[in-house]
Amino acid sequence: MSRRPFIAVLLANTISIAGSSLTLIGVPWFVLQTTGSAGRAGIVAFCATLPVVVAALVGGPVIDRIGRRRVSAVSDLICALSVGAIPLLHYAGLLEFWMLCALMAVGGLVHTPGLTARYVLLPHLAEHAGTTVARAASLYDAVSRGARMIGAVLAGVLVGTIGAESVLLLDAATFGASALLVTAFLRGVPAAEPQRDAAKVSLTGYRTELAEGWRFLTRERLLLGITVMVMMTNGIDQGWSSVLLPVHGSEVLGGPTALGLMIALFGGFALLGALLYGAWGERFPRRAVFAAAFLLCGAPRYVVAAFTDTPLPLAVTMALSGLGAGVLNPILTTVMMEKVPDALRSRVAGVTTAGCELAMPLGGLAAGLLVDGFGVTQALLVFGGIYFLATLSPLVFPSWRTMEAAPAAPLLSRTEPARPSAEPAAR
């Protein structure tokens, strides 16, 4: 057994996600500074997230044939080029708004397959490291959230000092470092290499593999419920992170530094929540913990932001919301990884990810249009109300009771679903 591949993936995620947090703050701030339009910020968010859904939908079978290590490295390299081109074109005086949208779309298209390729290796990495999937999932999520917290703090400080353009160059460098780590330390891990027993590439076989995941998802009520719920909350959160919070930060919080600190508080307490669940979470019923955590991390921050004009109340709410958010992905990862055979994990992860991210493009676009039409307060209340209704699902629908124990493998399909993320992929 060796912990080096697992540690390398954790470090690659740390560097890459910290860099993506720079973009998460830097790009909306760059658009607001250069255009002054929340609607345009929403359009950029739409262009960045629509390709994410497409990539997740069609990328699963490709990952296994090309190899998880190669997909992860190539994804990071293309992201580095697309993000780095934005400030370089801006410095040269050549950047048009359509170019910004196109470059963000390219990054969104290739980023999700790279994340999926690393994620589906988690059971193998846990086995190599001599730990359980539940604990590895908690550590994996904790590291991701810690990186997001660090990146948010750096973004808030750096955007206010050296400018959003330079911050994007730093993000491009982090993608390159992540690609080097994965290339070097996952070499020789069998599950990271191309799957030689995969069927010969054909359009018919490709459609069949994609259809298997969707058929199973529509038959399994719990997994369908999870996917629909997370689809709704991911869309709302995309509007929050790409438009609502940046506009609120510009109008009320005082600038990018305060905005970065808010995101860092959320990420820091999410890290704590993930670690706490990893240590003691398996002792408690999954459904009850999941429902309580989702109610805590969702609507309260929208409502508090709508009714407060000082940073402190929102800072406290972001900390509590982060604590709840940290519990979510370890639970979903554990539930889904118990059910998905390794041979199908990449393609099924792609199908469920596409479902969960289906509303993300509309979330950023709708938030921008609402802010321009009715103001940020009304937009926050609308989004918060929808979020609250979505998070009632585990308490209302009986199918969620089956979350407590993994069901027996179905007889009608050999495909079982992978973990949908309860949080939008870091941009």
Helix%, strand%, coil% for the chain, nearest 5: 80, 0, 20
- Which pLDDT belongs to residue 81? 92
pLDDT at position 343 is 64
Query: What's the CA gap between 248 and 254, in Å, rounded?
Result: 9
Q: Contact at 8 Å (CB) between 252 and 120?
A: no
More confident residue, 212 or 246: 246
All residues at 6 or more sequence positions from 19 whose CB lies less than 8 Å from its CB, including other chains: 151, 170, 171, 172, 173, 174, 175, 178
Average pLDDT, whole number, for the chain?
A: 78
H or E element, residue 31? helix 4-35
**DSSP secondary-structure letter at 93?**
T
Query: Is pLDDT at 302 greater than 90 in this prediction?
Result: yes
**DSSP assigned state of 398:** G
Q: Give the model confidence (pLDDT) of 282-293 as tens digits.
A: 778 888 888 999
Instruction: Find tokens 């846990």 and name the residue.
Output: 126
286, two tokens = 């999954």
Residues 6+ apart with CB under 8 A from 284: none
Under the banding of pLDDT at 50, 70 and 90, the label for residue 405 is low
What stretches of 177-277 adopt beta strand conformation (E)?
Answer: none
pTM check: above 0.85: no
Read off the pLDDT band of 300 (50, 70, 90).
very high
13 CB burial (10 A radius; 0-12, 13-18, 19+): buried
Contacts of 107 (CB under 8 A, 6+ apart): 48, 78, 79, 82, 83, 427
Report how far residue 329's alpha carbon sits from residue 274's, in angstroms, rounded to the nearest whole number. Answer: 8
Residue 416 is classified by DSSP as -
Mean pLDDT of 151-165: 77
Q: Would you list the DSSP string of 299-350?
A: HHHHHHHHH--SHHHHHHHHHHHHHHHHHHHHHHHHHHHTT--GGGHHHHHH
Of the ranges 93-97, 158-162, 422-426, which one carries the lowest mean pLDDT score? 422-426
pLDDT digits (tens, 9 = 90+) for 53-78: 777 666 666 776 777 888 888 988 99
- 233 vs 363: CA distance, rounded Å: 9
For residues 119-125, give the mean pLDDT. 79
End-to-end alpha carbon distance in the chain? 34
- Give percent of the chain above pLDDT 90: 8
Find, among 306, 294, 316, the residue nearest to 389 by Cα: 294
Contact 62, 385 (CB under 8 A): no
| Residue bearing the bigger pLDDT, 147 or 390 | 390
Secondary structure element (H or E) that encloses residue 18, with its range: helix 4-35
